[in-house]
Structures are given as structure tokens and as C-alpha cells.
Chains A and B, each alone.
Chain A
Amino acid sequence: GIQVEQSPPDLILQEGANSTLRCNFSDSVNNLQWFHQNPWGQLINLFYIPSGTKQNGRLSATTVATERYSLLYISSSQTTDSGVYFCAVEVPSGTYKYIFGTGTRLKVLA
């Protein structure tokens, strides 16, 4: 099956720093999503980005489907950005199944 790898597994930043999170996937996918899991466990949708680039405030994402990776950029990080970031890819099997990466745990220090 499709493998989804995220890097780095852990990241510690000072408030105000920028960061790039990476998601690699081993085969063609239909769709890709980025989520932020807050300290209470809620998964919050960040981007639905099967290809191209999107921006939402301080966050942006780029997916290069032909090269099988996606990047999440966080600029001017804030302590509220702390948590775990997951990418998830939809398996092209017609069943709408998503496979999740193991996440990047981000801690932003004040």
C-alpha cells in the first residue's frame, strides 16, 4: 500500500521563526490534506491541496503530485501553532480512503 512519510518528526522553534514541514508519498494519490491536531485532540483542517499552492494567512502549502510530495510552510510562528501536523492522502481506489502520515510534532517557545 501507499506509504506516507513526514519530516521532521519533531520540531522546536522560537516564536517568530519560520518552518517547513514535508510529506512524501510513495504512489499516485487522488487528494491530499493537511491537518493540525491541537492539544485537546481536535483535528483541524488546514488545506485540501491535491496539487498546486494555497495560502491561508501565515500558512501556505504546496503539493507537487508528479514528484509525490507536499510542503507546509509556517511563517512567523506563534505558540498557538504548537501541536501535531498530519498530512493525509486519498488512496486512488474509489473508496475515499485516506492514509495518514505519522505527523510532525511542533513546539513553539515564547
Chain B
Amino acid sequence: DVKVTQSSRYLVKRTGEKVFLECVQDMDHENMFWYRQDPGLGLRLIYFSYDVKMKEKGDIPEGYSVSREKKERFSLILESASTNQTSMYLCASSLFTYEQYFGPGTRLTVT
């Protein structure tokens, strides 16, 4: 079975802090994705990566950056957290154009 893990289930940070969210997959998938989920807005793609050191902006990349130094790990970085980044963050991976598999999610609160 594909396993996607995320570093924290719940996280509370202060405004202005630098925040790292980490995602690891164990199935040698090429593609990895970061989404945020907000009530009434569904899941929106922040960034994705189709290879090591490669990244593409999704629909809402502002205020975020990503890093993929190893194939199995994809990090989402909030350079200076703001209250409007309070959300559920979901990581996913896929093998080329096939189905996506999701991690358990990180519920981030910025105060």
C-alpha cells in the first residue's frame, strides 16, 4: 500500500514565524502535491513537483514556497506565517498520470 505521511497532525504558530510542513511518500512516486482545504472553497493546489528539484506553481502559490531535495520528500514553507494561512494542508503523491494518494493532513493554526 502507498503510504504518505505528514510531519504533524496539528500545528499552532505565531504570525511572522517561518513554518515548515513536511511530506514523505514511500512508493517512489515522481509527482508530489501540496493543497490547502478551506470550508466552502474545497481543495486548492498550492504547488506541485514532478521530479527532484523541479516545482510548478499551482493556483494559490502566494506566500508559500516548496523544496524537493529528495524524491520521497516534499516540503511546504511559509516564509512568514499570517492568520489567513490558517487551514488544513494536504500532501499527495502520484506515479506520473495515475491516481493521487493523500497523507492525513496537517491542521495549521496561525495566531
A56 within 8 A of B: no
CB of B48 within 8 Å of the partner chain: yes
Interface residues of A in 90-110 (CB under 8 A from B): 90, 95-98, 100-103
Q: Could you tell me if B102 and A43 are in contact, using CB atoms closer than 8 angstroms?
A: yes
Which residue on chain B has the smallest CB distance to residue A103?
B42
Whether A48 and B42, one on each chain, are in contact in the complex, defined by CB atoms closer than 8 angstroms, is no
Q: Is B64 an interface residue when CB atoms closer than 8 A count as contact?
A: no
B residues near A43, Cβ cutoff 8 Å: 90, 92, 102, 105
Q: When the two chains form the complex, which single residue of B48, B90, B101, B107 contacts A96, counting CB atoms closer than 8 Å?
A: B48
B86-111 to A contact mask, C-beta < 8 Å, 1/0: 00101010101111111011010000
Would you call A45 and B99 a contact (CB within 8 A)?
yes
Q: Are A30 and B45 in contact (CB under 8 A)?
A: no
A8-49 interface with B by 8 A CB criterion: 30-31, 33, 35, 40-45, 48
Check A33/B100 contact, CB under 8 A, given A42-B105, A96-B94. Answer: yes
Of A41, A45, A100, the residue contacting B101 (CB under 8 A) is A45
- Which of chain A's residues has its CB closest to B2's CB? A45
The interface residues of chain A lying within 8 Å CB-to-CB of B44 are 100
Which B residues touch A35, using CB under 8 A?
A: 102
Per-residue A-contact encoding for B62-89, CB less than 8 Å = 1, 0 else = 0000000000000000000000000010
Given B37, B41, B56, B100, which contacts A88 in the complex, CB threshold below 8 Å?
B100
For the A-B complex with A48-B99, A95-B56, A100-B43 known, give 18 more contacts whose Cβ atoms are closer than 8 Å: A31-B99, A41-B104, A41-B105, A43-B92, A45-B99, A48-B98, A86-B43, A88-B100, A95-B48, A96-B31, A97-B45, A97-B58, A98-B45, A98-B100, A100-B35, A100-B42, A101-B42, A103-B42
Query: Which residues of A are in contact with B by a Cβ distance under 8 Å?
Result: 30-31, 33, 35, 40-45, 48, 86, 88, 90, 95-98, 100-103
